[in-house]
Chains A and B, each alone.
Chain A
């Protein structure tokens, strides 16, 4: 079984500042890792994913994440945030080849202030 921990429930930052949203996971098998974003009153949108290969993955809207197997982490980063990045961000994990069973973290609310 897998589990996901998002260490920060809320992250306030000023516009144009860098941001890192932390995600750690636990699993006894190989995993796929995902970040989803949920804008207010909307569904979930896939931001980026790690399936295999390069540990640095780039997603939409200038976000990137790095898979660190030794630290079981998949932190999300953006060098300069915009007001429009204000949203809730969910880290999720599934067992490689499991064809479903996404396990979500509790989410991190990113608030970008002018």
Chain B
């Protein structure tokens, strides 16, 4: 399985600001995914990020709020823009790939918006 790291591991931010979360994988992967886990809730897929193409967003998530970059096969970023307290969540990246049925998750970024 891939080794995945995320930065920052946690942060406390003021409303109206933006935070960029980084996800680094130790091997090349085709597909990277970003999930949100709101307090006491399950995981919800935000978007799928493939290298060399625009991210695909799930219903309820938009690019202006959650812009994603995927510059190469080992790295991706998720930005949470114009934050409000409702954005307080754990944000997790995961990796999979063509022919790879299993997703492996990073440790998550714990975000608190005041």
Contact = CB atoms under 8 A, between A and B. Distances in A.
B103 A104 contact: no
Contacts of A45: 105
B41 A34 contact: no
B33 to A, nearest CB: 6
Given A99-B31, A99-B96, A100-B48, A44 B105 contact: yes
B106 A100 contact: no
B92 interface: yes
B41 A106 contact: yes
Please report whether the interface of chain A is mostly helix, strand, loop or mixed according to DSSP. Answer: loop
A32 B94 CA distance: 17
Please report whether the interface of chain B is mostly helix, strand, loop or mixed according to DSSP. Answer: strand
A104 B44 CA distance: 8
Interface in A1-52: 32, 34, 36, 41-46, 49, 51
A34 B100 CA distance: 14
Interface residues of B, number: 24
A104 B36 CA distance: 12
Nearest to A101: B45
B96 A46 contact: no
A43 B106 contact: yes
Contact of A104 (B31, B42, B48): B42
Contacts of A34: 102
B61 interface: no
A36 B42 contact: no
Interface of B: 1, 31, 33, 41-45, 48, 92, 94, 96-98, 100-108, 110
27 contacts: A32-B101, A34-B102, A43-B92, A43-B108, A44-B92, A44-B94, A44-B105, A46-B1, A49-B101, A49-B102, A90-B42, A96-B101, A99-B97, A99-B98, A100-B31, A100-B33, A100-B96, A100-B103, A101-B45, A101-B48, A102-B33, A102-B94, A102-B103, A104-B42, A105-B42, A106-B41, A107-B42
Interface of A: 32, 34, 36, 41-46, 49, 51, 90, 94, 96, 99-102, 104-107
